Amino acid sequence: MTPRRLHSLLLSAFLAGNLLLGAAAVPSSAAAAEEYIACAPAEQDTVSAQVYDGSSDPLPQTDLEAVRKCLQNTYLYDIPDEILQLDSIQEMIAAVKERFHDPYTRYVTAEEYEAFLDAINREYGGIGTVLDGAPGGVSITSVTPGSPAEEAGLLAGDLITAADGVLLAGMPVSEAAALLKGVPGTVVDLTVLRDGHPLHVGVTRAVIDLPQVTGELLDGHIGYIRIATMGNETTEQFLAAADQLAAEEADSYILDLRGNGGGYILPAFEIADFLLPPGSRLIGLGSKLDTLYLDSSTGPLWDPGKPVLLLVDRNTASAAEILTASLQDNHAVYTLGENTYGKGVGQSNVPLPEGGMLFLTDTEFIRASSGEGYNHTGLQPDLNLAALPADDWLRIAAMLLHPEAGMKDGDLRLRLGDQVIELSGESLRQEQNTAAFRHLLQKAETDSVELRSGSAWIAAGDEAVEKLWPLYYPGFKDMGAMEQVPLDKTFHVVFSQSMNPDSVTPERVRLVEKETGHEVPVTVGWSRTDELHIVPAEPLTAGTAYWLAVQPPMQSAAGTPLKSGAVLEVTTVD
């Protein structure tokens, strides 16, 4: 048994004695009797089978009796008698929801509980496609490798117009997806449009097991780990991703918890334990009796000198918030995004005599840093990006992790809210970062935009912010502007002296779309020793603004280096 697995088992055993979140399956009635120790009177330190010995406190025989006992003895708050004396489970739970603003305590059937577990563990009976709405049906945006959809020959870009004869045009994507799901081994007959041609495809459903954690290396140096849920394999998959990224020599990390609605509590504690130094105080578990804090004992998994950013959003909830709070309270991450959901209470899953399951709120999560909870309020990020498109957030995080951000001439810094952020000039010029940087700039305070020059930060000024290119090419000479430029234009640049042609390569010339950051490849040549001609390798786009930048280092024919580059603003014909 590996040390990691042993650690997981020990922590699991500890938590199981204090918070029952996520049983593996619905137990039988006999097994359910064992579980009712969770609903013993709160004042008792230990509970044995004698609590339900058939005399003073008989074992509940119906779901109604069991729910009433659990609410009375174990619910997080004291419930008045008038609620406990109601005649049905539905009435009691509805009254609890209203009185304590608790949407999480609920009663479910065995079938509903199995579906709940499948959702946490990202398992379902289906065909293995990701869908998006489209005119005439739903389009396939991706096909899961090894899935029934792949085996049946379905492709990304296919338009599904009908499932088992039911037309999908105008149907919400969720409803269309539900038609594709079903019992493994059954067949769904699809009508598909591919390149305008109809196809009829029968796909045999199977159990689809989506990854709970994925990892990849971004920008050649950032370890990106997406934790989609807190399921039964989350910890192992997280460790596998972390090991792979360490082998790829990641120098920094982004943990992405956006859209992670939680699940089991154990992976949250395990991952926090692996990431934090021994003795770090994790989240507290508050009950009717007291608050129990857990301390880490295993980490740190990574070199503490490697920066870690954490992405969260309004759908980061429950166990994902436990991980977020534990890392925030120990200053182990810098958090970006928006306020989290605010599910700051936990539920025990209590099997009932007649086969149902009770989700019972019996725990409040308490922050170690403040001793306070966050139920309904959520957790705040360090850098709030709520005003920016969500698609930009990952690129902003990647820009912040550029290893030389804020250290070189031409780097940029700005203020967003109460946070000052520094960005590498090199990263700004990458096409993939264009949209994210422009949106950052729109939300930043204009007078806060500064450029690094030597050891000082110099205000960029309103004109530079308005023109934009001086932020990308600070210190470059302004060669003016050309308008109504033909789409097949050859550009000519005349220098004030003869140049060393070997020093002016295509890499020293950039022709960039102003709005998108797309770089147009060019070839260069010389008509005279002081006249460079630049030929775009692809047609320019009508009605589009470009920047033509000639960048140092370059040398004159005499070997003198040119210290500054130059930029020409270009607008093509409509």
Contact 153, 207 (CB under 8 A): no
Q: What pLDDT sits at residue 571?
A: 97
Among residues of the chain, what percentage have pLDDT more than 70?
A: 89
Q: What pLDDT sits at residue 294?
A: 87
Q: What pLDDT sits at residue 408?
A: 92
Domains along the chain? 19-118 (no CATH), 124-209 (2.30.42.10), 213-346+362-384 (3.90.226.10), 402-472 (no CATH), 477-572 (2.60.40.1220)
Distances in Å between the alpha carbon of 366 and those of 293, 294, 304, 325?
A: 9, 11, 25, 9
Q: What pLDDT sits at residue 52?
A: 30
Select from 319, 321, 340 the least CA-distant residue to 329.
321
Higher pLDDT residue, 355 or 51?
Answer: 355
Tell me the per-residue pLDDT of 500-510, one tens digit each, with 9 for 90 and over. Answer: 999 999 999 99
pLDDT band at 41 (very low <50, low <70, confident <90, very high): low
Q: Residue 300: phi, psi to the nearest 5?
A: -85, 145
State the average pLDDT over residues 531-538. Answer: 96
Q: What is the DSSP string of 39-85?
A: GS-TT-S---GGGGSSSSSPPP-SHHHHHHHHHHHTSSSPPPHHHHT
State the average pLDDT over residues 236-240. Answer: 96
Give, for 510, the enclosing helix (H) or strand (E).
strand 509-513
State the average pLDDT over residues 238-246. Answer: 96
The CA distance from 562 to 574, in Å, is 36
Q: Is the pLDDT of residue 1 over 60?
A: no
Higher pLDDT residue, 2 or 557?
Answer: 557
Select from 203, 300, 287 the least CA-distant residue to 246.
300
Q: Is the pLDDT of residue 11 over 80?
A: no
State the average pLDDT over residues 466-493. Answer: 95
Higher pLDDT residue, 268 or 231?
Answer: 268
Contact 418, 448 (CB under 8 A): no
The CA distance from 348 to 42, in Å, is 14
Q: Is the pLDDT of residue 7 over 90?
A: no
Q: Is the pLDDT of residue 56 over 80?
A: no
Q: What pLDDT sits at residue 143?
A: 84
Structure tokens at 547: 């920047």
The CA distance from 545 to 515, in Å, is 8
The CA distance from 128 to 519, in Å, is 36
The CA distance from 210 to 128, in Å, is 9
Within 8 A by CB and 6+ apart from 394, the residues are 224, 254, 256, 311
Residues comprising the chain, all counted: 574
Q: What pLDDT sits at residue 121?
A: 73
The CA distance from 38 to 132, in Å, is 43
Structure tokens at 74: 């174990």
Tell me the per-residue pLDDT of 78-106, one tens digit each, with 9 for 90 and over. Answer: 999 999 999 999 999 999 999 999 999 99
**Residue 552: DSSP 8-state:** S
Contact 348, 38 (CB under 8 A): yes
Contact 365, 284 (CB under 8 A): yes
The CA distance from 435 to 101, in Å, is 41
pLDDT band at 21 (very low <50, low <70, confident <90, very high): very low
β-pairing verdict for 159-163 and 187-194: antiparallel
Tell me the per-residue pLDDT of 288-308, one tens digit each, with 9 for 90 and over. Answer: 888 888 899 887 888 878 999
Tell me the per-residue pLDDT of 331-347, one tens digit each, with 9 for 90 and over. Answer: 999 999 999 999 999 98
The CA distance from 32 to 39, in Å, is 12
Q: What pLDDT sits at residue 59?
A: 60
Higher pLDDT residue, 34 or 407?
Answer: 407
| Poorest-pLDDT segment among 40-54, 78-92, 140-154 | 40-54
Q: What pLDDT sits at residue 130?
A: 80
Q: What pLDDT sits at residue 23?
A: 27
Distances in Å between the alpha carbon of 405 and those of 39, 82, 564?
A: 55, 62, 22
Strands (E) in 195-326, as ranges, are: 197-204, 206-209, 213-218, 222-227, 252-256, 281-286, 291-295, 308-312
How would you write 353-383 as a 3-class SS string?
Answer: CCCCEEEEEEEEEECCCCCCECCCCCCCCCE
Q: What pLDDT sits at residue 125?
A: 85
Q: Is the pLDDT of residue 315 over 80?
A: yes
Tell me the per-residue pLDDT of 381-402, one tens digit each, with 9 for 90 and over. Answer: 999 999 999 889 999 999 999 9
| Poorest-pLDDT segment among 32-41, 80-89, 393-402, 480-489 | 32-41
Q: Is the pLDDT of residue 12 over 90?
A: no
pTM attached to this predicted model = 0.80
Tell me the per-residue pLDDT of 338-378, one tens digit each, with 9 for 90 and over. Answer: 999 999 999 888 888 888 889 999 999 999 999 999 999 99
Structure tokens at 560: 């003198």
State the average pLDDT over residues 268-283. Answer: 93
Higher pLDDT residue, 569 or 31?
Answer: 569
- Amino acid 532 reads L
Helices 265-275 and 3-16 meet at what angle, rounded to 10? 130
Mean pLDDT for all residues in the chain: 86
